[in-house]
Structure 1
Amino acid sequence: MTSSLLLDKVVLVTGASSGIGAAAARVFAREGAVVVLTARRKDRLDTLVDELRAKGAQAASVVSDVSVNEQAAAAVDFALSEYGRLDSAFNNAGTGGDRTPLHLMQDDVYDAIMDVNVRGLWNCLRHEIAAMLRQGRGGCSIVNNSSVAGLVAIPAAAPYIASKHAVVGFTRAAADEYAKQGIRVNAIAPGTTHSEITADWFGRNPGLEGLVNSLTPQGRTAAPEEIAEAAAWLLSDRCPFLTGAVVPVDGGFVNQ
């Protein structure tokens, strides 16, 4: 049954082909949103759109690499051309990179992480906000996907940590700058979550998942749907006085 948390809101989801992004597409659609999905993998986007439409949702997709400014702009333009407006965005696209000590990290790893996690967010924000401002009616919302690594340090992941701290900085700066124009900007900071990125990390680092879970009060890895539920609430009109917040969704990890 469709509920009303995001009823009739046009929501752009980046990094929507897997993990938290795909879960967000499903949760947002269930909550009544019109979802526009973007990622680099067309086959997965097509499959997800077909799944959502089969359930009665309004959904469309466009292939883009958000680290390329023109492609991020095209994703926003696609949402506008398909549905005439953009009410909300979940900037979820990201990459994890290698777990390597800082002094051994290679330039190409640093560049890949920063291009997606920081430049990609920068590209999305400026085009999403510009579109929302042109609409001139306020009531818009953006949620950026950071990480607990945007709030604390973890070993052997310096560029990733720096990139996720940058997500927090962009969130707070944009929230402050556009509050009076009726655009709310918040972030979520997920803890360890089942995804392709974490599966790769855990596969290459035996025992890592157990170690992280041992440091998490709830003692487990999150399902991506649990993270998506928090993003849905932040995007909704249920929290109109909340902007510039970074909400840990981490089983209590950063509360230690």
Structure 2
Amino acid sequence: MAASYDFSNKVILITGATGGIGQATALAFAKAHAKAIVLADLPSASASASTLVSAITAVSPSTSATFYALDVTAGDQVAACVHATVARFGSLDVAFNNAGVLSKTASLIDTPDEEYDRTLGVDLKGVFLGLKHEIRQMLAQDPQGGVIVNSASIAGILGGPMIAPYVAAKHGVIGLTKTAALEYAAQGVRVNAIAPSAVATEMIQHWLQDPAQREYILGGIPVKRAATVEEIANSVLYLCSDAAGFVNGATLVLDAGQTVQ
């Protein structure tokens, strides 16, 4: 049974909002009666966003939902998204920096420089820019403060062969999370990260459908399955809720025990 949260007075911003985890988290915030949810994603996601807006309205008619076309690697676009959110809804209370890509499989020495730049641009620089502009707004508003959750991965805790750029990016996300948490806690801004292992999203479906790859991915997970997107979403809501008021600078590992073996 999912925990019950109340975000009825909160304005939520989610990047990478139309994908598996982002979509599930948006719906979870709607079920928790969020005041408003801004779905930020690439322009190509506009059709998916329209469907998600309708689903949010069906779940919670009192929740305002809108799509904002955004490239998280462009600082001016991130700043404009935050500004537009506040201009329309009055504040920014919660941000989930979820946009991400998985680097193409290759050994480190065979990874093209362009692939490294692409992956670090979305997965790490995107989080940096999100933090920069979200925190700036949270410090300026009255009342001051807010909550931010960043999407990391167990690849940010463990090594990961054949995906060096992704591993580097996710280690960086955890470092940014700790630093931001230390710098702004006294001003009412909490910053945490989630570190899931395998999650049943479109991003890894092609691997899960291959028996050998499936065994490699799930074999180290004690429960022998991938997480559902709803399980990850519920963890994000916990970190954003008052129930987690003393949780700051933490990385919540969501791996069914994979990293403690």
Q: Which bracket does the TM-score occupy, shorter chain normalised? A: over 0.9
Identity %: 39
Show CA shifts across 1:188-238 (max 9, x none).
0011001121124446x6522222211101110111111010000001111
Distance 1:239 1:12 in 2: 19
Distance 1:3 1:222 in 2: 20
Aligned 8 A contact 2:100 2:122 in 1: yes
C-alpha deviation, 1:71, in angstroms: 1.2
Pairs within 5 Å for 1:56-75 = 56=61, 57-75=63-81
1:45 aligns with 2:67: no
Which SS does the other structure have where 1:194 is aligned?
coil
4+ runs of 1 displaced by more than 3 Å? 2-5, 200-203
The match for 1:118 among 121, 124, 133 is: 124
Pairs within 5 Å for 1:71-150 = 71-150=77-156
- The one-letter code matched in structure 2 to 1:36 is V
C-alpha deviation, 1:108, in angstroms: 1.5
Which SS does the other structure have where 1:207 is aligned?
helix
Which SS does the other structure have where 2:243 is aligned?
coil
Report the CA distance shift for 1:202/1:4 in structure 2 as closer, same or farther (over 3 A): closer
1:217 aligns with 2:230: no
Report the CA distance shift for 1:28/1:201 in structure 2 as closer, same or farther (over 3 A): same
Which SS does the other structure have where 1:42 is aligned?
helix
Show CA shifts across 1:149-187 (max 9, x none).
011012111110000000000000000000000000000
Show CA shifts across 1:66-94 (max 9, x none).
11111111221121122110001010000
Distance 2:53 2:126 in 1: 23
- The one-letter code matched in structure 1 to 2:8 is L
Distance 2:67 2:117 in 1: 27
- The one-letter code matched in structure 2 to 1:52 is I
Which SS does the other structure have where 2:194 is aligned?
strand
Normalising by the residue count of structure 2, what TM-score does the alignment of the two structures yield?
A: 0.93
- The one-letter code matched in structure 2 to 1:50 is S
Unaligned regions of 5+ residues in structure 2, if any?
none
Distance 1:6 1:210 in 2: 39
Aligned 8 A contact 1:65 1:72 in 2: yes
> Which has the larger displacement, 73-82 or 183-192?
73-82
> Which has the larger displacement, 7-16 or 180-189?
7-16
C-alpha deviation, 1:6, in angstroms: 2.3
Aligned 8 A contact 2:5 2:237 in 1: no
Which SS does the other structure have where 2:242 is aligned?
coil
C-alpha deviation, 1:8, in angstroms: 2.1
Distance 2:164 2:69 in 1: 30
- The one-letter code matched in structure 2 to 1:17 is T
The match for 2:166 among 160, 169, 174 is: 160
Q: Which residue of 1 aligns with 2:250?
A: 245
Distance 1:71 1:196 in 2: 26
Distance 2:28 2:46 in 1: 20
Number of residue pairs matched?
A: 254
Q: Which residue of 2 aligns with 1:54?
A: 58
The match for 1:229 among 225, 234, 237 is: 234
